[in-house]
Amino acid sequence: MKRLLIPLLLANTLTAQQVQHGSPPAQVTAQRIFFAADLDADSDTDAVVIEKGVGTFLKGLTQPDGTLSWSAAENTGLTAIETAAMARFMGGA
């Protein structure tokens, strides 16, 4: 059985000013997009930070003591990201 997990859907061509209905809350600055979501299905709120210009992202997983443990930067393959959305994809086979 395979599982496909895609935590981020990124677009560098959209210019939407608001996150689509159903997406988790996001904060946006000139350089970054911030998401709060449960990334590891442990019922704790985790964080995602997207670096818009270079197209990298960091995942911050909430630890038992309430702090965030940050991943190394991962490359999205995109640059000049304007907007992003997050969704849960479930499936198998």
Query: What is the spatial distance between Cα 40 and Cα 23, in angstroms, rounded to a whole number?
Result: 17
Ramachandran region, residue 52 (left: φ > 0; alpha: ψ -120 to 50; beta: rest): alpha
Evaluate whether residue 93 is within a structural domain: no
In a domain, 90, yes or no: no
Whether residue 58 is contained in a domain is answered as yes
What pLDDT is stored for residue 25 in this prediction? 60
Name the pLDDT band for 31 (thresholds 50, 70, 90): very high
Distance CA 46, CA 67 (A): 10
- Count of alpha carbons within 13 Å of 24, Cβ hemisphere only? 17
Token pair for 66: 């309430």
Count of structural domains, the chain? 1
Q: Is the pTM of this model over 0.75?
A: no
- Please state, for a pLDDT cut of 90, what percent of the chain lies above it: 45
Rounded to 10 degrees, what is the CA torsion of 75, 24, 70, 28?
A: 70
Report pLDDT for 60: 95
Report how far residue 25's alpha carbon sits from residue 50's, in angstroms, rounded to the nearest whole number.
Answer: 14
Residue 35, SS3?
A: strand
Residue ranges making up the domain that contains 59: 9-85
Residue 13: pLDDT over 50: no
